[in-house]
Amino acid sequence: MEYSAPRGTQDITPDESGIWQYLEATVRETMARCGYGEIRTPIFEHTEVFERGVGTTTDIVEKEMYTFRDRGDRSITLRPEGTAPVIRAYVEHRMAARPQPAKMYYIGPMFRYERPQAGRFRQFHQFGMEVVGVPGPAADAEVIATPLEVFRALGIRDVVVNLNSIGCPVCRGAYREALRQVYQPVLAELCPSCQGRYDRNPLRLLDCKSEQCRASVPEPPPIFGYLCPECASHFAELRLLLDGLGIEYVINSRLVRGLDYYTRTTFEYNVGGIGSQDAIGGGGRYDGLVEQFGGQSVPGVGVACGMERCVLAMKAEADDSRFARGITVYLVSLGDAARAKAFELAFDLRAHGISADFDMIGRGLKAQMRYADKLSARYVAIIGDDELERGAVALKDMASGSQQDVPIAQLATQLLNNR
- Part of the chain binding Zn ion (CB under 5 A), chosen from 2-10, 158-166, 225-233, 360-368: 225-233
Asked if residue 354 binds Zn ion (CB under 5 A), the reply is: no
**Which of the ranges 69-77, 162-170, 276-284, 360-368 carries the binding residues for Zn ion, by CB under 5 A?**
162-170
Sequence-distant (6+) residues with CB within 8 A of 95 are 89, 102, 132
Contact indicator for 8, 122 with CB cutoff of 8 Å: yes
Q: Considering only the stretches 85-93, 202-210, 241-249, 345-353, report the one whose residues sit in contact with Zn ion under the rule CB under 5 A.
A: 202-210
SS3 content of the chain, % helix, strand, coil (to 5): 45, 20, 35
Q: Which amino acid is at 191?
A: C
Using CB under 5 A as the binding rule, whether residue 210 contacts Zn ion is answered as: yes
CA 226 to CA 228: how far, in whole Å?
6
Closest approach, Cβ 101 to Zn ion, in A, equals 21
SS3 annotation, 14-71: HHHHHHHHHHHHHHHHHHHHCCCEECCCCCEEEHHHHHHHCCCCCHHHHHHCCEEECC
Does position 171 interact with Zn ion (CB under 5 A)? The reply is yes
Rounded to 5 degrees, φ, ψ at 158 are 55, 45
Is residue 194 involved in binding Zn ion (CB under 5 A)?
yes
Least distance in angstroms from the C-beta of 165 to Zn ion:
8
In whole angstroms, how close is the CB of 242 to Zn ion at the nearest point?
Answer: 20
Q: What span, in angstroms and rounded, lies between the C-alpha atoms of 151 and 70?
A: 39
Task: Note whether 203 binds Zn ion by CB under 5 A.
Answer: no
Using CB under 5 A, which of the segments 50-58, 87-95, 189-197, 381-389 binds Zn ion?
189-197
Report, in Å, the least distance between residue 74 CB and Zn ion. Answer: 35
Instruction: Please name the helix (run of DSSP H) or strand (run of DSSP E) that holds residue 381, with its range, or none.
Output: strand 379-383
Question: Quick check: 232 binds Zn ion (CB under 5 A)?
Answer: no
Expressed in angstroms, the distance from the first to the final Cα of the chain is 48
Does the footprint of Zn ion cover residue 191 (CB under 5 A)? Answer: yes
User: Which listed residue (231, 310, 342, 392) binds Zn ion by CB under 5 A?
Assistant: 231
- Measured from the CB of residue 61, what is the shortest distance to Zn ion in angstroms? 18
Interstrand relation of 159-165 and 249-251 (parallel, antiparallel or unpaired): parallel
For 260, which DSSP code?
Answer: T
Q: Does 182 bind Zn ion (CB under 5 A)?
A: no
Q: Which of 34, 148, 174, 208 binds Zn ion (CB under 5 A)?
A: 208
From the CB of 137, what's the least distance to Zn ion, in Å?
A: 13
Q: Does 167 bind Zn ion (CB under 5 A)?
A: yes
Nearer to Zn ion (CB atom), residue 231 or residue 392: 231
The letter for the amino acid at 110 is M
Return the axis-axis angle of helices 336-351 and 411-418, rounded to nearest 10°.
50
> Closer CB to Zn ion, residue 231 or residue 332?
231
Residue 170 engages Zn ion in binding (rule: CB under 5 A): yes
The site for Zn ion (CB under 5 A) is made up of 167-168, 170-171, 191, 194, 208, 210, 213, 228, 231
